[in-house]
Amino acid sequence: MSEQDLVHLEKQDGVAVIRLNRPDVLNALNMPLRRRVAEVFESFSAQDDVRAVVLTGDERAFAAGADIADMSKIGAIEMYLRYNERIWGAIAGCPYPVIAAVNGYALGGGMELAMHADIIVSGRSAKFGQPEVKVGIMPGAGGTQRLTRAVGKFNAMRLCLTGEIISAEKAHAMGLVSDLVDDDKVFDHAMSLAKQIASLPPIAVQQVKEVILHGQDASLGAALALERKALQILFASADKHEGMAAFLEKRSPTYIGR
């Protein structure tokens, strides 16, 4: 399989759908797959036709972790020289809202990949976990940090220290999963959310994402200042004028992303 075939990309109604395609190994994240995912995300920055992204796998697995067979053969320097942080950074830096549509397994690097999204939609039979400790390593793509910010210290400690695999219901209860739906409804639900977001004023949507992500690690005062400045900037946008005029005129707005 070529590197291009490792990811299927399609676009509809302002939504880019990224589908991982290594079904024979439950979408295990080897280096070619990671690089291809990063390339796809990097390509969005100059594309005005993308307003939201759905990231998914297949019915058996979102992504069942890193490729252990590959990692078992390398040492520390080779691991360092892979510069994985640059690959993951392409996903984290996506300016558009990203929705992870999860069926089956989201384990290790797969769960970390899902946590790079802004919303996680999960099927009821999905499984989540950070089992790296069971093979002598630990999460290295944000699993200790994004998970702690999502579910708190004590839940994150339990998952990362035990390597426990949990149900989607438990993940939803602890705040990791945004929406829990029947397995056969996951993709449609994620697409519905993405299309809803894509229909809204793009600059306002991007500012909401940016302020939430950057504000969570700032002091409350700094985060509130960031929020105020973003709001003030939006008052200069054409979409602000269009949205308010449409509201007052009782018509549907037409947003242009300006």
pTM above 0.85, yes or no: yes
| DSSP string for 151-181 | H-HHHHHHHHHH--EEEHHHHHHTTS-SEEE
pLDDT in tens, 114-159: 999 999 999 999 999 999 999 999 999 999 999 999 999 999 999 9
| Token pair 């998914």: residue | 56
Q: Which pLDDT belongs to residue 216?
A: 93
Q: Which pLDDT belongs to residue 254?
A: 94
- Is residue 54 located within the same domain as residue 176? yes
Determine, yes or no, domain membership for 256. no
- Is residue 156 located within the same domain as residue 217? no
Mean per-residue pLDDT, 29-39: 94
- Is residue 187 located within the same domain as residue 224? no
Determine, yes or no, domain membership for 218. yes
- Is residue 157 located within the same domain as residue 223? no
In the sheet with 165-167, reading across from the earlier edge strand, the strands are 61-63, 105-107, 127-129, 165-167
- Is residue 189 located within the same domain as residue 233? no
- Is residue 141 located within the same domain as residue 212? no
Mean per-residue pLDDT, 9-31: 94
- Is residue 29 located within the same domain as residue 9? yes
Determine, yes or no, domain membership for 16. yes
- Is residue 45 located within the same domain as residue 65? yes
- Is residue 182 located within the same domain as residue 209? no
Determine, yes or no, domain membership for 258. no
- Is residue 186 located within the same domain as residue 64? yes
Q: Which pLDDT belongs to residue 38?
A: 94
Determine, yes or no, domain membership for 73. yes
In the listed set 156, 182, 198, which residue is the last one of a domain according to the structure? 198
CATH of residue 223's domain is 1.10.12
Cross-strand partners of 255: none
Determine, yes or no, domain membership for 255. no
Determine, yes or no, domain membership for 210. yes
Q: Which domain holds residue 212?
A: 202-248
pLDDT in tens, 102-113: 999 999 999 999
Q: Which pLDDT belongs to residue 46?
A: 62
In the listed set 198, 222, 240, which residue is the last one of a domain according to the structure? 198
Phi, psi for 146 (deg, rounded to 5): -65, -35
For the cut 80, the answer to whether the pLDDT of residue 67 exceeds it is no
CATH of residue 164's domain is 3.90.226.10
* Number of domains forming the structure of the chain: 2
pLDDT confidence bin for 79, thresholds 50/70/90: confident
- Is residue 159 located within the same domain as residue 58? yes
For the cut 80, the answer to whether the pLDDT of residue 47 exceeds it is no
In the listed set 158, 173, 198, which residue is the last one of a domain according to the structure? 198
Residue burial 8-29, b: 16+ Cβ < 10 Å; e: rest: eeeeeebbbbbbbbbeebbbbb
- Is residue 115 located within the same domain as residue 206? no
Whole-number Å distance between alpha carbons of 33 and 152: 30
Residues contacting residue 100 through CB under 8 Å, at least 6 positions apart = 54, 55, 56, 62, 106, 113, 114, 116, 117, 119, 120, 121, 190
Determine, yes or no, domain membership for 229. yes
Give the residue numbers marked as catalytic.
Answer: 66, 109, 112, 132
